[in-house]
Chains A and B, each alone.
Chain A
């Protein structure tokens, strides 16, 4: 019977491997638990050195820090305590779950436990900030190996415990975890933009912030009405110029052009979408701005950097978006619509404008909305042509958009000024979210219409 493996033997072997994986996961999990009681982080505040374990982080009140003038107790943030305790509890739970044969739940517990050091890392900066307020600048934080073990060990344990159920299960879980990254990113971005932007709005007052007409950082005046109005004016202008050209071009590509000509124009539009926004800005700065400055009727009224220049550049930049989305939806219009219209005696041109475009209107609208999103969010091209003074919008005057307001001053802003910039980011984010959600809504309605 040499060389022949019976199914009973095979099962035995498999369960042996399974138990091995389980044992290894439980062991690694136990080391994780032990690591919570080992030296974890070293804080060096000037001459005082604190080496603490995760357990101590959760239990001590704070660190006594002696500064040159001030001495104070720097409290450990509540978030750190919660993270540390959650980490150890979850690691213990993971070990118990794996012993009681619940590998999927154990894997989840381990991976969350492994994430807790990241939260500790984030809240460690709060400790640093608190110490800086005591006038101590020499601070350093070192992370010791148990800290890194908890991070990597958590992931290792969770992979092992999921593997108990076989490679297929492990692979599926890992694909699932990766595909949740985008959900997680959007959640974290939303939370952070709100958390960073809200304090300034609360301090300045929502009314004063949104409807204040002057932005003067030196005088601590933070009213962003000019920025909001300029952003809206720029976007509306770009849409007014870009949409007709965009829709007509998409008609050209999808309906009227000879295939060979369309094959030349299509890549051109695609390439237009690929040009970096800085290059657009550069082109605008060197060609459009001087052209506006030297245009006879405008001469003496403008320095060239103006809302008009921004509008022209933005109109060019939203073109590819509008053309691509509209072309797709024009092509999706059933051929029978066109044939019916032509059979009734309508000319091809009338057919396009009275039948095909109305049939594709929700797709075209979706393209326009996508273009609006692009225009509101564009930063670098606008910064190079708009002049960046926070004036109320006028066609030939210098203006500052929401986006450029952030980019211009971020590098040197501090205190309330910096928080106000984050608040601008919040306002912009809310604008974009409204645009995004309406795009999703409208493009879904378009799909439903096609299904009918």
Chain B
């Protein structure tokens, strides 16, 4: 006889409603994500062919509707930006975690890194345009875009590297020092190798940020879609990345064919970002295990 039981299960409508809201919110997040990814991949994947990836682009020539130049430009920007920014960012993280004593300078560095990560990319774009393109006379060029992006991703690199350097057990350092190694030797020979997966995560996260960036590159690296001729020529010339190509083709599209190019570009971008995301996840997992 359940009714005579001491334990009465109360119905609490408020509780149920709140629980429902919590689950609904999580569902909204997942459904939105799946909706966006599904929509773009569904419409874009059919148009990703080898020809699409390997031919140059031209607005007039119907035979040339590929994204090869954009892929090359994106790669240039990713590589050069990382070459500039990664050494600076990793060195900053080393200084902050291994050398710095708490003081005004360290506070200033931390504060400015935080400020830097909050500045919107359009401001970086304006700044890069006035300083690198005009004052340093680089015009709109890939190099100007790289220099702008290098500042843009600095906080990402510093913060993630810092975290992984801090996670290296102090006993490793002490052990090495007890064996008579100098500080530099300890940092470069013990701490940095131990934190390597974390450092690589930082680099991959930064790559994702660069691949996805558009507003900061709009005025600095420009919108030219010419096929790159040589490395040195290209980095001093204007070139659009995949994101800017998507932006430009989507805005100018006036026929279903043109829209398909935009769909396919968006799908390529999503796949790239997805892969980078997985890579970062894998790296940080090996780091936690190690």
Contact = CB atoms under 8 A, between A and B. Distances in A.
Interface of A: 118, 121-122, 124-125, 141, 167-168, 171-172, 174-176, 178-183, 185-189, 192-193, 196, 244-249, 251-253, 256-257, 264-265, 267-272, 274-283, 285-287, 316, 319, 323, 347, 349-350, 352-353, 370, 373, 376-380, 384, 403, 406-407, 410-411, 422, 425, 428-429, 432-433, 435-436, 439-440
Contacts of A178: 87-88, 91-92, 95
A4 B36 CA distance: 74
B91 A179 contact: yes
B283 interface: no
A268 B266 contact: no
Given A181-B154, A270-B281, 9 more contacts: A182-B154, A196-B130, A248-B21, A251-B22, A268-B34, A276-B269, A286-B39, A353-B18, A407-B122
B277 interface: yes
B29, B127, B211, B219: residue with the most chain A Cβ atoms closer than 10 Å: B29
A316 B32 contact: yes
A247 B24 CA distance: 12
Given A176-B95, A182-B158, A249-B26, A189 B119 contact: yes
Contact of B22 (A121, A122, A256, A281): A256
Nearest to B151: A185
Contact of B250 (A189, A285, A377): A285
Nearest to A172: B99
Interface of B: 12, 14-15, 18-19, 21-26, 28-30, 32-34, 36-37, 39-40, 87-88, 91-92, 94-96, 98-100, 105, 108-109, 111-116, 118-127, 129-131, 134-137, 151, 154-155, 158, 182-184, 187, 208, 211-215, 218-219, 243-244, 246-247, 250-251, 262, 266, 269-270, 273-274, 276-277, 281
A112 B216 CA distance: 29
A379 B269 contact: no
B120 A376 contact: yes
Contacts, number: 255
A268 B120 CA distance: 24
Contacts of B135: 121-122, 125
Nearest to A405: B122
8 contacts: A188-B127, A274-B273, A275-B270, A279-B269, A349-B18, A377-B119, A407-B122, A428-B123
A347 B15 contact: yes
**Closest 9 A-B residue pairs measured CB to CB?**
A377-B120, A276-B212, A248-B25, A178-B91, A179-B92, A175-B95, A252-B26, A379-B215, A186-B112
Contacts of B25: 244-249, 251-252
Contact of A323 (B29, B100, B118, B276): B29
Given A268-B33, A347-B15, A189 B127 contact: yes
Contacts of B114: 436, 439-440
A276 B123 contact: no
Given A186-B112, A193-B126, A271-B274, A377 B121 contact: yes
